Structures are given as C-alpha cells and as structure tokens.
Amino acid sequence: MNQHTVFKIGDLVIIILVILLAAGILLIGMFRNGTQQKQCVISQNNQVISIIPLQEDANQFIEIGGDYHNVIEVKGTQVRFLSSTCTNQVCVATGWIEYAHQSAACLPNYVLVEVVGGESVHVDAIS
C-alpha cells in the first residue's frame, strides 16, 4: 500500500452512491413490471388505430374497414379476429391470443393485433 491507495472517505461515498443507484434502478424495474398492464395494440398500415386494455371485464367488438372488413373481439384478457371478409382467413384461424408478444394479423387488410405487457407465453425454446 502507498499514497495512491490509502482509503479515503470520498471512496466510501462513491461506493455508497453506486450501490444506491443500482438499488434504485432495480426498484424502478420491479415497480414497473408489477404495474405494467396488459394491452392489445391494433394497427393498420403501421399506424396505431386503438389501444385497448385487456382486463377481466373487457368485452368489446372493434370493426375495421379498408380493402376488407375485419371484426376484432376483445373478451376478458384475450383478443381475436372474430370475422374477416378477406380471402385467406389466416387472421381468424389464428384464434385467441393473450400473452405478451403474441400477435394476429390480417395481411390483405394490413391489420396487425399485438399483445403488449403482462406475462410472456410459458413455452421455452425447445418446445
């Protein structure tokens, strides 16, 4: 040890500040994840049309025009394409989606429905 490494009071202040900052960010992260609400984002032509919270008592039908006619059903914590006048019906076949990052799309009508927030789907990379 020499003059460069004699522990000073300022060192302790720096260490405490770093620990406080780490703890603060950790707390913010826990708080944010705890209250982050599950929502479904409906967009057409890359523009968000509406954002609907997915709560237990939600019950709503959204009709979207354009080249074709889509009906989206929000029920409780799930959302689906109820019907579509498009030719391939992929969006209706997707069925209910309810976990974060899941999505359903009607490409002929440029409509995308995404779930954001809440839990992710409980499936790992292997399954």
Partner 1 sequence: MIKKLTLSGMLTALAVALAYLEHLFPIQALIPVPGVKMGLANTIILFAFIYLNARAALLILIIRCMIQSLLFGTLTGFLFSMSGGLLAFSITALLLPHYKTRFSAFGLCIAGAAMHHIGQIVAACLLFLSSSLIFYLPALLMLSLLTGMLTGYVCSFLFPRLERVIDLQNTKYG
Given the rule CB under 8 A, which residues bind partner 1? 1-11, 13-15, 18-19, 21-23, 25-26, 29
Task: Return the number of the residue (14 or 93) whose C-beta is nearest partner 1.
Answer: 14
Q: How far is the CB of 5 from partner 1 (least distance, A)?
A: 4
Q: Which is nearer to partner 1, 1 or 123 (CB)?
A: 1
Say how far apart CA 10 and CA 15 lie, in whole Å. Answer: 9
- Please say which residue, 1 or 126, places its beta carbon nearer to partner 1: 1
| Cβ pair 58, 64 in contact under 8 A | no
Tokens of 4: 């460069």
Q: Which of 66, 116, 73 is nearest to 91 (CA)?
A: 73
Q: How far is the CB of 77 from partner 1 (least distance, A)?
A: 22
Q: At its nearest, how many Å lie between partner 1 and the CB of residue 27?
A: 9
Q: Shortest gap between Cβ of 13 and partner 1 (angstroms)?
A: 8
Q: Which helix (H) or strand (E) holds 34?
A: helix 9-35
Q: Of the two residues 5 and 47, which places its CB atom closer to partner 1 in the complex?
A: 5
Structure tokens of 45?
A: 């032509």
